[in-house]
Structure 1
Amino acid sequence: MTATAIEDLLRELTPQVLGVLVRRHGQFEGCEDAVQEAVLAAAVQWPAEGVPGNPRGWLVTVASRRFIDQVRSDHARRERESATAGQVAPEEVPDADDTLVLLFLCCHPTLSAASATALTLRAVGGLTTAEIARAFLVPEATMAARISRAKQRIRAAGSSFTLPAGAEREERLRVVLHVLYLIFNEGYTASSGSELHRADLAREAIRLTRMVHAQLPDDGEVTGLLALMLLTDARRAARTTAAGDLVPLDEQDRSRWDRDLIEEGTGLVKASLAGTQLGPYQLQAAIAATHADAATAGETHWRQVHALYLILERIAPNPMVTLNRAIALAEIEGPAAGLALLAGLDGDDRVAGHHRLLSVRAHLLEKSGDRAGAYEHYRRAAKATASIAEQRYLESRASRVRA
């Protein structure tokens, strides 16, 4: 088995093994540390000695012993067992997959979105603290402290390792989906740094969402979120030039879009819309599918896009939804209509001064013929974003309208 295949296997098994330990011992923080140690041991030993016949059982055995060592504070025993970890006999472990329970625990309502995201990537995604820190461009010590505080908050809350019931389950599922959505968005359009994409984060978000969908295949919003991710990620190859510069949607070479992902995503959209309820992820996925249906930018069904944004704006009001609706409205009624809609966002503290609002206004001003206004807003937008790739793109647009 290749090193990449072993890495993929370990990421798949990490939440399953952690679920077994937490259910058995009931101490999330200590169990999570023990599983990470077992995964690191496997990452060293398996490429050299081969993957054991029961890799899940191997990891449970090693992690359980590491956990007992932690509880007993027996350093000598830990060193002795570490040296013989490759010869352990796998324990009998239950077949149940507790990944969904683990996701609910990592997305506990006492945690901030940033903390839940980091903890999910470590405990469920199997990423190391260093990998997560690199992904979010913060020092490893900062990320380690964030993850540690998150585990302490969960322990202090006295959470049990069970799926909540009724309304609480629905609320927690919304938090889980929001965290996965945040992970994907950061991977698809990095909020800072020199690269537009962080493909590893986007892939991880899709993988975790597939896990949730496998356990909740009839949930419309889970299906919608997976569809949205696939349809959006299908455009990734066309979003940048060979030099890494951003290519906007209307200028992308659509032959480079991943048709397999589009086909899968479109099928999921249809399945998600077949139910009686309609949620924001289903609507966003339907919008993405509408764009995917257009062979060229000029063939986009903008009235349908606008209608979907109107519904989305009604059931999940958000300034970014209004901003996107302004783009669709401008395509239907002209840039003046879009600019008029944007004017209503200037007093919203959540988006006022945001580079996205500034850049959309610049785009509509450019389309209306106000080159001076477009230049000013492109420049302001470039200064307002921490993404170097977006800065380059916005500065190039500013230079174009000034020429």
Structure 2
Amino acid sequence: MTDTGAIEAVWRIEQPKLAARLTRLLRDVGLAEEITQDAFVLALERWPRDGIPRNPAAWLTQVAKNRALDRLRRTTLIDGKHRELKIDLNELERATPDIEAALDEDIDDDLLRLIFTACHPVLPAEQRAALALRLLGGLSTSEIARAFLMPEVTIAQRIVRAKRTLRDAAISFETPRGEERRERLGAVLEVVYLVFNEGYVATEGPHWLRADLCGEALRLGRSLTALMPEESEVQGLMALMELHASRFAARTDKTGNPILLLDQDRSRWNWSLIRRGLDGLNRAMTLTPTPGPYLLQAMIAAGHARAVTAADTDWIAIAACYQALALTAPSPIVEINRAVAVGMAFGPAQGLAIVDALRDEPRLNGSHLLPTVRGDLLEKLGRTAEARAEFLRAAELTGNDRERALLLARANPSSPQRGA
């Protein structure tokens, strides 16, 4: 018998690759996702009984290949105008070896094509990121909703509309060039960033860290830096992800429980990744006189990476970077993080003032982040009962099992005081 969790782990790795392959073949993002989901459903039916195949990627590809051919045959019989394929059944049968070869080709560029396609300007900005997160990260509707601080039904509608729009507009599956590429870059970077963040702290499930999503984001980031080496925000995002990824080994204990930043054993940080991240940051800073949001966040991450111990952290510099970030890319999440930095730099009372100004922010309704940080600041001020109430509220709101356990532990008045 095979654990469902193991099947889901395989799925997280293979889903975006399979969706990209199918999109290249079918020229229909929605149809590609549907067939990809069909392959996973069949895996859930068979693998618990038969075991995970030795080569699960090949198994899923073969199933998807068969489903795609069946779908194209049916569509050809019913509607000879099937988009731009315009082939009859006999032609389809003769073309089968070519279709199989297309599915078996190297997909190094397919994920980039997929993300640029999902971020096409024909789609409203809010639909682009939601669709790309579904396709590239395999995220559920609820996970995407949490990332955007939006209701699930809203996200579901955005994804459906985005797939329909791309299909009806017959958008080419390609990596654009020149000005068109630059126009889509902001949306592409946002998606890569969100995929990484979902892996860095999972919104749902039993695991604090999902290395598969972080790895996929890092892979996409490296492809983007090779494609657009002179873009400071591309370099900045890559540096940011590498600096965060350097902490992976220190972020959880042996049982997978989270270890907060100030408690981490920094000797376990990956100093090779830190050097690469700092080098990337330096390159990015030579490309622009005005840091953008990803470059500013990389500067914040570098501030932590350069501190040999938690006590060595230059919180004043980090708070200044958050202030610049709040002006460049204002959001409630930036303000919450700024409150943490200000609390560390100038005292918890000043951080609490920032947090309290966000208590009526509608985008934070249902988010555990605000009560988590508020609880931490109240705890530092010695307001233990209030802090406990905030940690309990945060524990109710989080969808991550590990984070819930951590928050419940912090609600215990005897738990140690730590920074967020």
- Alignment match of 2:114 (pick from 81, 85, 102): 102
Q: Kindly state the Cα deviation for residue 272 of structure 1 after the two structures are TM-superposed.
A: 1.1
Aligned to 1:328: 341
**Would you say the 8 A contact 1:66–1:78 is kept in 2?**
no
Instruction: Give, in angstroms, the shift of residue 317 of structure 1.
Output: 0.7
Map of 2:284 onto structure 1: 272
Aligned position for 1:389: 402
Is residue 309–residue 325 contact of structure 1 (8 Å, CA) maintained in 2?
A: yes
Q: How big is the shift at 1:95?
A: 12
- Counterpart CA distance in 2 for 1:112 and 1:399 is 42
Shift of 1:190: 0.7
Find the counterpart in structure 2 of residue 56 from structure 1. Answer: none
8 Å CA contact 2:236, 2:294 repeated in 1: yes
Question: In the alignment, does 2:331 pair up with 1:318?
Answer: yes
Cα deviation for residue 358 of structure 1 reads 0.9
Pick aligned residue for 2:248 from 231, 236, 243: 236
Q: Give the CA RMSD over aligned residues.
A: 4.7
Q: Does 1:290 align with 2:306?
A: no
Q: Quick one: which amino acid aligns to residue 198 of structure 1?
A: R
The SS at the match of 1:159 is: coil
Cα–Cα, structure 1 residues 165 and 205, in superposed 2: closer, same or farther, change >3 Å?
A: closer
C-alpha distance after superposition, 1:204-257 (max 9, x if no partner): 111122112211111111111111111112112211122222111001111111
Distance in 2, matches of 1:288 and 1:115, equals: 28
Q: Counterparts of 2:165 and 2:400 in 1: how far apart (Å)? A: 32
Question: CA 1:31–1:19 in structure 2 vs 1: closer, same or farther (change >3 Å)?
Answer: closer
What does the per-residue CA deviation read over 1:356-396, in whole Å, with 9 as the maximum and x for residues that have no partner? 11111111111111112211211111112111111111111
Letter in 2 for 1:197: L
The alignment covers a number of residue pairs equal to: 373
Residue 130 of structure 2: aligned partner: 114
TM-score, normalised to structure 1, is 0.74
1:27-106 equivalent positions in 2, closer than 5 A: 69=73, 72-73=76-77, 97=109, 100-106=112-118
What is the identity, as a one-letter code, of the residue corresponding to 2:223?
M
Q: Which amino acid aligns with 1:179?
A: V
Any residues of structure 2 matched to 1:171-320 within 5 Å, and which?
Answer: 171-276=183-288, 277-320=290-333
**What SS does the corresponding residue of 1:240 show, helix, strand or coil?**
coil
State the secondary structure of the residue aligned to 2:202: coil
Letter in 1 for 2:226: A
The percent identity for this pair of structures is 38
Report the 3-state secondary structure (helix = DSSP H, G, I; strand = E; otherwise coil) of the residue aligned with 2:412: helix
Structure 2: any 5+ residue segments left out of the alignment? 1-10, 43-52, 59-64, 79-87, 146-152
Classify the secondary structure of the residue corresponding to 2:287: coil
What code does the residue aligned with 1:72 have? T
Query: How far apart are the structure 1 equivalents of 2:102 and 2:355?
Result: 61
- Aligned-pair CA distance for 1:113: 3.2
Among 345, 370, 378, the alignment partner of 1:365 is 378
2: CA distance, partners of 1:89 / 1:384: 47
Structure 2: distance between partners of 1:372 and 1:8: 41
Report the Cα distance in structure 1 between the residues aligned to 2:282 and 2:252, rounded to whole angstroms.
Answer: 29
Mean CA deviation greater in 113-122 or 272-281: 113-122
SS of aligned partner of 1:400: coil
Q: What is the CA–CA distance in structure 2 between the aligned matches of 1:267 and 1:187, rounded to whole Å?
A: 24
CA positional deviation for 1:312: 0.6
Gaps of 5+ in 1: 1-6, 41-45, 52-60, 123-131
Aligned partners of 1:359 and 1:381 also within 8 Å: yes
The aligned amino acid for 2:341 is A
Cα distance between partner residues in 2 of 1:345 and 1:242: 36
SS at match of 2:359: coil
Measured in 2, the distance between the counterparts of 1:313 and 1:114 equals 23
Give deviations 1:65-99, integer Å, cap 9, x for gaps. 889656535999799889x969x8899x9999565
**Hey, what's the Cα distance between the residues in 2 that align with 1:301 and 1:381?**
28
Residues 263-313 of structure 1 show CA distances to partners (whole Å, capped at 9, x for unaligned) of 111111111111224210111011001101101100001111011111111
What is aligned with 2:48?
A: none
Separation of aligned partners in 1, 2:107 and 2:405: 51
The offset of 1:345, in angstroms, is: 1.2
> In 2, are the aligned partners of 1:16 and 1:97 still within 8 Å (CA)?
no
| Contact 2:33/2:135, CA 8 A, preserved across alignment | no
Change (3 A) 1:236 1:166: same
Q: CA deviation at 1:160?
A: 3.8
Query: 1:149 and 1:70, CA in 2 relative to 1: closer, same or farther beyond 3 A?
Result: farther
Q: Offset at 1:115?
A: 2.5
Q: Could you tell me which amino acid in structure 1 is paired with residue 76 of structure 2?
A: R
Are residues 153 and 398 of structure 1, via their aligned partners in 2, closer, same or farther at CA, if it must alter by over 3 Å?
A: same
Tell me, yes or no, if the aligned pair for 1:16 and 1:98 is still in contact at 8 Å. yes
* Match in the other structure for 1:380: 393
Amino acid at match of 2:265: D
